[in-house]
Structure 1
Amino acid sequence: MNRFSLCVSGVIARVTEAALGPYQTAVIRIGFSATWLLFLLREFPHRQEMYGPDGPWSWGLAEQLISTNGAFTALMWSDGRLWFECVYVLAVLASVLLLLGWRTRTMTVLFMVGVLSLQNRSIFMGDGGDNVLHLMGIYLVFTRCGQVWSLDARRARRAQAARARGERVVDRAGPVLWGVLGLALVAVTLAGRLFEGDRFIPLLLWVVWLAQALWWAVGRFGRSREPRILLDVVGNIVHNGALLVIMAEACLIYATAGWYKIQGTRWQDGTAVYYPLHLDYFSPWPALADLLSASGTMVLLVTYGTVAVQVAFPFTLFNRRVKNVLLAAMITEHAVIAVVLGLPFFSLAMIATDAVFLPTSFLRRLGGRAERAWGRLTARVRRAPEPAPPVPEGAKDAHVGHTA
């Protein structure tokens, strides 16, 4: 009984004392924000046809569907072209700032609003990766994904160093950003637009906004440390719970995909991989697809290997070595899918999901190498000689005459 009590108390202390997986959540933040940003930039010339007023899925059809399923999308607050452009630009800006890790708590909310607004406006624009991005955009709101590899982490280090020197640190950008977004939230709520459909996302927006105010007020005016410690414990619990949900979601995706494949006759006879390689829609490189499908043995091994890896992966999480091997195999598989089948954003979304299982030691080494490479690059830029100023024509002629 004593051992059990010690074990339970140790688990509780681990869950409440720290936000686990800081490097994994940072990779997820960077991966999904980069995936969504690249997608938005690639489709920028076609944004009006995909999600805007010029699309085949008109605003009226979207309104009828959303009145039935109650999905959240800010694009249904107005059918104007200017409003659409503002939402699209906001989605791009939120992705950039979340990628850099600037005010990550606020940017995760704006990132979620951008993802849900565009995807729920036109539900037929996707390749499978949009479903993963849809879910992870919501989960990121509950995580502390800016602990490392972010501008927030750098600002926190500088603030700590300033306090150690006895300097007073005042955050002005945070309250201003909170106030501006609060006015927008109040205006949309009073206009009756926010709670038109599903109430979960609107309530989440209000809860996060009020929680940010409470966090700032306790840090700014709190005389004792207990309220801040309590809020920190609650934040750690929410973060760790969201991290567990992300891991469970990844396992569920692979388990369901693998078991559904087992039930298909083409996967059972080992020929399933052959058919998508010869579809025009999934053949950006026909010669490469023909090369990969030329060997029946190769097709058989890839087909059975895909099913085996997807079904076995959730059961290997308790064995670190086997898990890492299967994780490398799945990441390689998604990279091949991105090139061979022409599904880059689906593959990027799945690779970002897989990153939650990457070892911390590997991520630290990766971050250290990236930091050293960046340091060498900036050092070379600083040492680069400045170009000599041009010599005036008169000075050239005078020099030639003098030497003559």
Structure 2
Amino acid sequence: MISRIYTHWNKFVDYASQDRLLMGASRFRIVAGIAILFQYLSNYYNRHYLFGPDAAWSFQTFREHIARESFSLYAFSSSLFWFELVFHLGIIITTLWLIGWRTRLMTILTYIFMWSLHERTPVLWDGGDNLIHLIFIYAFFANLGAYFSFDAERLQKARERGGAGQQVLSIFHNAAILAFAIQLCLLYGVSGLYKVQGEMWQNGTALYYIMRIDEYSWPGVSELIYQNVFLVTAGTYATVAFQVAFPFLFVMNRYTRWVALVGAFGFHLGIAAFMGLITFSAFMISVELALIPDSEYCSIKQRIDRWRQNLVSRFIQWQHQLRRSPKLAPLRIQVLYDGWCPFCQKSIARLQRLDTLQALDVISFREPGVLSQFEIAPERAEARMQVYKNDKTLEGIDAVTCIATRLPLLWPVLPLLWIPQQLGLGQRVYDWFASRRTIIPTGCDTHCELQSTNQRQSTASPHS
């Protein structure tokens, strides 16, 4: 009997100590970290009015609130220096948690500083703070730095070494993620059941009244929804049905779990867009991301890689067909540049990388016979870049503009080239830069002849 219990216990420990949902936990850290930083930075310039010693929520009222039921680092002193220190330390610590440096320690510190900020002005937030406060307690025991972090390599080595201590940490991690899931299912289920009891949710008008509140509306867009009876009624009933069904869909099987999670993503993206509850939606999505298995993330990545490879392959085929098209022949131009100018060489190399249509035929005028071929004086070629287009010669800023019209990635900068030209400044600015470039004569450019051993010896010893 005892041996059987021992065997079952060992099987349970082996099963419970296998790390699961590490990628999702790391994504929770990233998305939640961005949301917390957003709370700091979006209120940065109003921080004194919202959180400072002389904030709208007075320091005395804040102290009384803290004394009754909570704590906050901001309550230790009413000095401006202390406020600035705590506020900026919160930003730094949240950033370190976001990038995954000493993740377990930073999880605790991020929670302390975030809680302190939320308690400083508790009337300011959108409801997402209630969820994230609970989730962070579970997150203390989770491995949030296994991926996309500075700790990833160190934690991977620890997992490979194994041992009893690592088994305990893995069990705690899995229990924490399970707590994430239970908390989310409770939240959706209870929220849906409460809505069922509301008269406006029962008669299908709740969405109308929500979108008519100025603070929760998207001007110009919300009207299109709340003026449509079908959308209002369908959206109201769909919200209740989704929230009540979420716990059952989540636990039924992997396919219904995807239905639940994808529905949750869409639900909260809609809340962020139409109601403006950005951090609430971000916190909810961060928890939902933590509940996707690593195998599913790998499968998604493989699909995305295949789609990307197919798109790249099709783009390359289209590019080759386009390059061979006779319609592009009028677009092809010859570009004469100074091969003795290092800046010119680097610029031409960059332009060639951007030349997806292969419309540029670049030639250094320092090459033997080039000047005579194009019948151009050396001084003119050295002063300005030359472009030959359909028996027409362009130079300087006009040549640069002509090149930009052939490179789709440079089309956004065309207005910056066209405006100075119209003002009569383009050529002057070009000449000013061109006159200050460095020229290093080398005696050869892209094609350099190598002397034979006999030639070098005869050059070195003319009397031999």
TM over 0.5: yes
Q: TM-score, normalised by structure 2?
A: 0.62
Q: Give secondary structure in 2 for the equivalent of 1:13.
A: helix
Which structure features the higher share of helix residues? Answer: 1
Could you give the per-residue CA deviations for residues 147-200 of structure 1, whole angstroms, max 9, x where no partner exists? 12212114556x79xxxxxxxxxxxxxxxxxxxxxxxxxxxxxxxxxxxxxxxx
- Output the amino acid matched with 2:273: V
Tell me, yes or no, if the aligned pair for 1:111 and 1:137 is still in contact at 8 Å.
Answer: no
Tell me, yes or no, if the aligned pair for 1:29 and 1:140 is still in contact at 8 Å.
Answer: no
Tell me, yes or no, if the aligned pair for 1:334 and 1:347 is still in contact at 8 Å.
Answer: yes
- Output the amino acid matched with 1:74: L
CA distance in 2, matches of 1:89, 1:367: 36
In structure 1, what is the equivalent of residue 33 of structure 2?
Answer: 33
In structure 2, what is the equivalent of residue 253 of structure 1?
Answer: 187
Q: TM-score, normalised by structure 1?
A: 0.71
1:261-276 superposed matches below 5 A: 261-276=195-210
1:312-391 superposed matches below 5 A: 312-316=245-249, 317-365=251-299, 386-387=346-347
In structure 1, what is the equivalent of residue 221 of structure 2?
Answer: 288
- Please report how far the alpha carbon of residue 3 of structure 1 lies from its aligned counterpart in structure 2 after TM superposition: 9.4
Tell me, yes or no, if the aligned pair for 1:98 and 1:111 is still in contact at 8 Å.
Answer: yes
Quick one: structure 1 residues 134 and 156, their matched pair in 2 at CA, closer, same or farther if it must change by over 3 Å?
closer
Which of residues 163, 167, 171 in structure 2 aligns to 1:237?
A: 171
In structure 2, what is the equivalent of residue 85 of structure 1?
Answer: 84
- Output the amino acid matched with 1:80: S
Q: Give secondary structure in 2 for the equivalent of 1:142.
A: coil
1:3-402 superposed matches below 5 A: 9-15=10-16, 17-69=17-69, 71-154=70-153, 229-283=163-217, 285-316=218-249, 317-365=251-299, 386-387=346-347, 393=436
CA distance in 1, matches of 2:258, 2:6: 32
Q: Give secondary structure in 2 for the equivalent of 1:124.
A: helix
- Please report how far the alpha carbon of residue 39 of structure 1 lies from its aligned counterpart in structure 2 after TM superposition: 1.8
Which structure has the larger Rg over C-alpha atoms?
A: 2
Quick one: structure 1 residues 119 and 393, their matched pair in 2 at CA, closer, same or farther if it must change by over 3 Å?
closer
Tell me, yes or no, if the aligned pair for 2:146 and 2:155 is still in contact at 8 Å.
Answer: no
CA distance in 2, matches of 1:100, 1:21: 19
Using the TM superposition, name which of 6-15 and 83-92 deviates more: 6-15
CA distance in 2, matches of 1:349, 1:132: 8
Could you give the per-residue CA deviations for residues 293-347 of structure 1, whole angstroms, max 9, x where no partner exists? 2221221111111111111111121322112112111210110111111111111
CA distance in 1, matches of 2:118, 2:268: 22
Quick one: structure 1 residues 38 and 259, their matched pair in 2 at CA, closer, same or farther if it must change by over 3 Å?
same
- Output the amino acid matched with 2:121: S
Q: Give secondary structure in 2 for the equivalent of 1:147.
A: coil
Q: Give secondary structure in 1 for the equivalent of 2:122.
A: coil
- Please report how far the alpha carbon of residue 391 of structure 1 lies from its aligned counterpart in structure 2 after TM superposition: 5.7
- Please report how far the alpha carbon of residue 19 of structure 1 lies from its aligned counterpart in structure 2 after TM superposition: 3.0
In structure 2, what is the equivalent of residue 217 of structure 1?
Answer: none
Query: Unaligned regions of 5+ residues in structure 2, if any?
Result: 309-344, 349-432, 442-464
Aligned residues: 317
- Output the amino acid matched with 2:133: H
- Please report how far the alpha carbon of residue 11 of structure 1 lies from its aligned counterpart in structure 2 after TM superposition: 2.8
The percentage of aligned residue pairs carrying the same residue is 33
Q: What do you get for the CA RMSD once the two structures are aligned?
A: 3.0
- Please report how far the alpha carbon of residue 370 of structure 1 lies from its aligned counterpart in structure 2 after TM superposition: 8.9
Tell me, yes or no, if the aligned pair for 1:115 and 1:137 is still in contact at 8 Å.
Answer: no
CA distance in 2, matches of 1:286, 1:347: 20
CA distance in 2, matches of 1:239, 1:359: 14
Q: Give secondary structure in 2 for the equivalent of 1:286.
A: coil
- Output the amino acid matched with 1:101: G
CA distance in 1, matches of 2:260, 2:68: 41
Q: Give secondary structure in 1 for the equivalent of 2:90.
A: helix
Q: Give secondary structure in 2 for the equivalent of 1:287.
A: coil
CA distance in 2, matches of 1:97, 1:352: 18
- Output the amino acid matched with 2:14: A
Q: Give secondary structure in 1 for the equivalent of 2:252.
A: coil
Quick one: structure 1 residues 393 and 328, their matched pair in 2 at CA, closer, same or farther if it must change by over 3 Å?
closer
- Output the amino acid matched with 2:151: D
Quick one: structure 1 residues 105 and 371, their matched pair in 2 at CA, closer, same or farther if it must change by over 3 Å?
farther
Using the TM superposition, name which of 262-271 and 56-65 deviates more: 56-65
Quick one: structure 1 residues 28 and 393, their matched pair in 2 at CA, closer, same or farther if it must change by over 3 Å?
closer
CA distance in 2, matches of 1:144, 1:75: 29
CA distance in 1, matches of 2:301, 2:91: 25
Q: Which one scores higher on RCO, CA 8 angstroms, separation ≥ 6?
A: 1
In structure 2, what is the equivalent of residue 180 of structure 1?
Answer: none
- Please report how far the alpha carbon of residue 351 of structure 1 lies from its aligned counterpart in structure 2 after TM superposition: 0.9
Could you give the per-residue CA deviations for residues 253-284 of structure 1, whole angstroms, max 9, x where no partner exists? 1111101000100001111111111111111x
In structure 2, what is the equivalent of residue 193 of structure 1?
Answer: none
CA distance in 1, matches of 2:187, 2:214: 27
